[in-house]
Chains A and B, each alone.
Chain A
């Protein structure tokens, strides 16, 4: 937070994007302070810990995504600031309008009043709509420029963010957000699958996009491209999709065996963990996890060496030699 505010003070200029980011970072940081008091009651302590994380993911971090998409579109595609900022304000309004009360789907089973089932379910069901708007926005600006840019990795990671956010948070989230289904799926590997996918789509992809953007500036590169980022992009995205899919299978098996058939008893819990579908899902998850690890190292190597690799020299033939080789 201080980094952003300090930069704004130092430059004596605050754009709309920076304003949104600063206003968003204040509650984001303020909520983090809840983690510091030494609360002796474990239930109260856990409640605030839990509330902090969920308010972050449903509201403040979604605003950060909007800011990242706006920043990247402006830097990469030269979309005018007026357009990006106007759209950002709309996105932020929609995200907060659905997200702040959409957090209610986390209140379902913690002893909060019953009306949260209705409020949480209603606003959670509306949450994918602004995410769809974000996707359309990214598609529009990228499509207008035919996906041409001087920094392809940043562009592709930004697109991955828009799609990953929609699929991970929107599609995976909507599968389990209505109270009647959430009652059975809550706290299983199904939730873990949703968490992995949405966190990846919403945050990691955006961070990687900004890293490429920053490195282009810092290392003074006119064009960012190559083979390594494509490998990292493929391995990481394919790996995360595989992990989310495997965890989904495990979670469905757990929901089915432990919750729906077994009635959430300890015996049913143990039977759920021994279910072959559950186990195979967890082993598959490890395989895709290894893929993600490999992708991470490729990404790290690319980021560390970007702009420092010596371009392979192409032998230049003298004009006379070329003329001699030409037919006729």
Chain B
């Protein structure tokens, strides 16, 4: 493996997860506080995550199986915050009916 590509690939993988985290937090606060700007910031972060994912798929010297895993997990990242929030809201409504 080319040493430069090794370090950059690793940094890309870290950025990939970080973008997922920023998306989750911005999206959640945006929904809870009804702030469209925060939700938009969340979607921007997820777009960055997709961009990073595409760079990894096209350029990183990883085996195809790991690239496939990263692509699948990128899709999963998109659904984690909305599904989690939807479930939490439903849980609160059921447990606190007032």
Contact indicator per residue, chain A 128-144, by CB within 8 Å of chain B (1) or not (0): 11001101110110011
Contact assessment for A170 and B80 in the assembled complex, using a CB-CB cutoff below 8 Å: no
Cβ-neighbour of B84 out of A122, A133, A171, A252 (below 8 A):
A133
Contact assessment for A133 and B63 in the assembled complex, using a CB-CB cutoff below 8 Å: no
Which residues of chain A in 70-90 are interfacial with respect to chain B, using CB atoms and an 8 Å cutoff? 80, 82-83, 86-87
Contact assessment for A80 and B96 in the assembled complex, using a CB-CB cutoff below 8 Å: yes
Cβ-neighbour of B91 out of A83, A166, A180, A261 (below 8 A):
A83
Contact assessment for B84 and A174 in the assembled complex, using a CB-CB cutoff below 8 Å: no
Contact assessment for A136 and B81 in the assembled complex, using a CB-CB cutoff below 8 Å: yes
Chain B residues whose C-beta falls within 8 Å of the C-beta of A140 in the assembled complex: 28, 32, 84-85, 88
Which residues of chain A in 40-99 are interfacial with respect to chain B, using CB atoms and an 8 Å cutoff? 80, 82-83, 86-87
Which residue of the partner chain A has the closest CB to B12?
A175
Which residue of the partner chain B has the closest CB to A124?
B69
Given A174-B16, A185-B10, A143:B21 Cβ within 8 A: no
Chain A residues whose C-beta falls within 8 Å of the C-beta of B91 in the assembled complex: 83, 86-87
Chain A residues whose C-beta falls within 8 Å of the C-beta of B28 in the assembled complex: 136, 139-140, 143
**SS class of chain A's interface: helix, strand, loop or mixed?**
helix
Chain A residues whose C-beta falls within 8 Å of the C-beta of B92 in the assembled complex: 83, 144
User: For the complex, is B13 an interface residue (Cβ under 8 Å from A)?
Assistant: yes
Given A133-B80, A136-B28, A143-B29, A121:B21 Cβ within 8 A: no
Cβ-neighbour of A181 out of B13, B24, B69 (below 8 A):
B13
Which residue of the partner chain A has the closest CB to B73?
A125
Measured in the bound complex, the distance between the Cα atoms of B25 and A132 in whole Å is: 9
Contact assessment for A178 and B3 in the assembled complex, using a CB-CB cutoff below 8 Å: no
Which residues of chain A in 293-328 are interfacial with respect to chain B, using CB atoms and an 8 Å cutoff? none
Chain A residues whose C-beta falls within 8 Å of the C-beta of B16 in the assembled complex: 174
**What are 28 A-B contacts with C-beta separation under 8 Å?**
A82-B95, A83-B88, A83-B95, A83-B96, A87-B88, A87-B91, A118-B65, A121-B69, A128-B20, A129-B76, A133-B84, A135-B25, A136-B25, A136-B84, A137-B84, A139-B24, A139-B25, A139-B28, A139-B29, A140-B85, A143-B28, A143-B29, A143-B33, A144-B32, A171-B17, A180-B1, A181-B9, A256-B7
Chain B interface residues (CB < 8 Å from chain A): 1, 3, 6-7, 9-11, 13-14, 16-18, 20-21, 24-25, 28-29, 32-33, 61-63, 65-66, 69-70, 73, 76-77, 80-81, 84-85, 88, 91-92, 95-96
